[in-house]
Homo-oligomer: A and B are copies of this chain.
């Protein structure tokens, strides 16, 4: 079945939304902590612009990765699981075939 034809019940949408928000919050909070530590250690212009480069890259990455569209959502979740921003347990309540797919993709 093509990804675009996956169906989502209302309950599944709520679980997915909560998991998505939670993962993004975790990644943003980790980024904030990294920025805080970096900022407190900056000693010169080169290090300041290195922090700017890091933020540019991270913003681009986060903007691109957190794509809440149902046809791509299982792929998004698999990446988040792979990177440690989301646990499979947090997807409990989705149809078993969805969780199986996320789990399989996250190991690829």
Contact = CB atoms under 8 A, between A and B. Distances in A.
A28 B44 contact: yes
Interface residues of A, number: 21
A30 to B, nearest CB: 11
Interface stretch (A34-42, A71-79, A94-102): A34-42
A52 interface: yes
Copies of this polypeptide in the complex: 2
29 contacts: A24-B45, A28-B44, A28-B45, A28-B48, A31-B48, A32-B39, A32-B42, A32-B43, A35-B39, A35-B42, A35-B48, A35-B51, A36-B39, A36-B40, A36-B42, A38-B39, A39-B39, A39-B40, A40-B40, A45-B62, A48-B55, A49-B59, A51-B55, A52-B52, A52-B55, A52-B56, A52-B59, A55-B55, A56-B56
